[in-house]
Amino acid sequence: MILFCDTSALLKLYIVETGSEVVKGWVTKAEAVAVCRVAWAEAHAALSRRAREVSEDAPVIEQAKAALARDWPHYLVMEVDQMLVERAGDYADTFALRGYDSIQLAAAFETGRIAQLPVCFACFDMRLNKAAGILGMTCM
């Protein structure tokens, strides 16, 4: 089984918050963990915003960024290309998703198509999980 983590799930591996232990458990059961290339930028944006908003968290945020950088080469990183963004555009229309959410969903779908293995979609957004389920992915 491939675990595809959208950014909401990926961040829970680096910042202790509700759901962190659950995501870590999923990771230990997965054969591989996949992410979309855009998750890097989304994760850094979210972490930096938290450091700005809660200045006492800044040292922990820097540690989280460093840990993400160490782990990144171990993830199966799905690239964003024209085919993927066209599929994402279709998903944005079909499921009423925001742009990057539709890209994450398209990347997860493409992961399963390429690998020919089941993809479990790890996400903490109900609309996105519903769309993933309609596309045949198991939602964690």
- Give the percent of the chain with pLDDT over 70: 100
pLDDT tens per residue, range 37-70: 999 999 999 999 999 998 899 999 999 999 999 9
**Can you tell me the mean pLDDT for 73-99?**
98
**Can you tell me the mean pLDDT for 21-49?**
97
Residues forming a β-bridge with 2: 32, 119
Query: Structure tokens of 37?
Result: 């290339």
Q: Which domains does the chain have, with CATH numbers?
A: 2-139 (3.40.50.1010)
